[in-house]
Amino acid sequence: MAATKSEVGELVEELSGYKGKHTELITVYIPAGYDPNTTQKQLEAEKATAKNIKSTATRKNVIDALEKIIRELKPLKKAPDNGMALFCGNISPNEGEQDLKFWNIEPPHPLNTRLYRCDKEFVLDPLKQMLEVEEVFGLLVMDRKEATIGLLEGKLIQVLQKMTSGIPSQIRAGGQSAQRFHRITEGLTKEFYKRIAEEMKKIFFEMPKLRGIIVGGPVPTKDEFLDGEYLPTQLRNKVIGRIDTGDTSESGLNELVEKSGELLAQQEITKEKDAIKAYFTALKESHGKASLGYPDTKKALEYGASQTVYLSEKTDKEIQKELAQLAENSGAETIIISVDTIEGQQFYNLGGVGSILRFKI
């Protein structure tokens, strides 16, 4: 069964604390749909290579860890639906002692990473990204000559499209009047804006996780584009910020994200406040279609009545884990509420556990 985000978070936190004395901590990622037998054969080859390690203790630790992972893979006919991540190694803090531990998890979302690594630390970035990416932000940096469209997923910036306008430089061809040259460049600029808008529509219009769009560029250009209503209304309404940037290449996307830090943080706070306000409204007005506290929320989940479960980040971890698993089993959404806002602190003071129900019980 796929792990919950809470379970992945706990595993990442635990594994982050282990540092090998030598390169003897093994990480294996098997992507969704990949044959685990192929990975098993690769690890058999790595075991043969490990016999050349000079240090007797390190050699034993690496080979033992590889053999443990191989044993776990042998019975598998295929990888779990979302792939799997396996970790094994000697975590003893004392030189010369062995404390071999093994972890195996099916992540909540499909893995697209295939990896074998033997190092002093476990490789955790693919799992960390799954913890971050619930929503994405569209990015655009542009001027009259160039545009780059990108996507911010967690902390990962992807370049999706690069475009150029073909507008000539300010040096006019012989015989052209300034007025005629201006008309030509203005016409080409509008066509370029239309092409940018069309490309953004193709990319973002039906993207379900799109939280907002941030546009960067020189002061007049980005405003001309946005105020000129080249984008369809649905996408214009998604624009959450206009940021002054100078670079319109891939580096410009990095600059845009760096300058948008406060804006993005505010979006997360706003989203969280909206979520908990919806719960408080349901608790006050829904006449029995909201639960408050652990017993009532657990009962609602066991009846399959919960639609959205709210858990304070300060709620006991075992309770979080239990209720998040029940929510996943019944198809309910789980939202973790921080105590960084007044509403979040109020929710924690009320017990930090609740849900909005599909039907009364």
Report the candidate in 257, 260, 190 with the shortest Cα–Cα distance to residue 225.
Answer: 190
DSSP per residue, 149-196: EEEEETTEEEEEEEEE-----SSPPTT--HHHHHHHHHHHHHHHHHHH
Distance CA 118, CA 28 (A): 9
Q: Where are the alpha helices (DSSP H) in 260-338?
A: 261-285, 294-302, 317-330
Helix (H, G, I), strand (E, B) or coil at 37: helix
Q: To 10 degrees, the CA torsion angle through 240, 244, 247, 251?
A: -50
pLDDT, one tens digit for every residue, the chain (361 residues)? 678 777 898 899 999 999 988 999 999 999 988 999 999 999 999 999 999 999 999 999 999 999 999 999 999 988 998 999 999 999 998 888 999 999 999 998 888 889 999 999 999 999 988 876 567 899 999 999 999 999 987 767 889 999 998 877 655 555 557 777 678 788 889 999 999 999 999 999 999 889 999 999 998 899 999 999 899 999 999 999 999 998 999 999 999 999 998 898 888 778 888 899 999 999 988 677 899 999 999 999 999 999 999 999 899 988 988 998 899 888 898 998 988 788 899 999 999 999 999 998 8
Q: What are phi and psi of 43, to 5 degrees?
A: -70, -30
- CA atoms of 46 and 40, how far apart (whole Å): 10
Contacts of 96 (CB under 8 A, 6+ apart): 57
Closest CA to 153 of 194, 196, 112, 195: 112
Question: According to the model, what pLDDT value does residue 185 have?
Answer: 80
Give the pLDDT score at 170. 59
Helix (H) or strand (E) holding 244: strand 239-244
Q: Please give the pLDDT value at position 297.
A: 96
Of the candidates 216, 8, 247, the one whose C-alpha atom is nearest the C-alpha of residue 105 is: 8
Distance CA 273, CA 350 (A): 16
pTM reported for the whole predicted model: 0.52
Structure confidence by residue, pLDDT tens digits, 86-134: 999 999 988 889 999 999 999 988 888 899 999 999 999 999 888 765 6
- Name residue 226's amino acid: L
Is residue 357 classed as helix, strand or coil in its secondary structure?
Answer: strand
Which residue's structure tokens are 């039907």? 359
Q: Which domains does the chain have, with CATH numbers?
A: 5-132 (3.30.960.10), 136-259 (3.30.420.60), 267-357 (3.30.1330.30)
Distances (CA, A) of 142 to 108, 155, 168, 186, 347: 36, 21, 16, 16, 43
Q: pLDDT at position 3, please?
A: 81
pLDDT at 135: 76
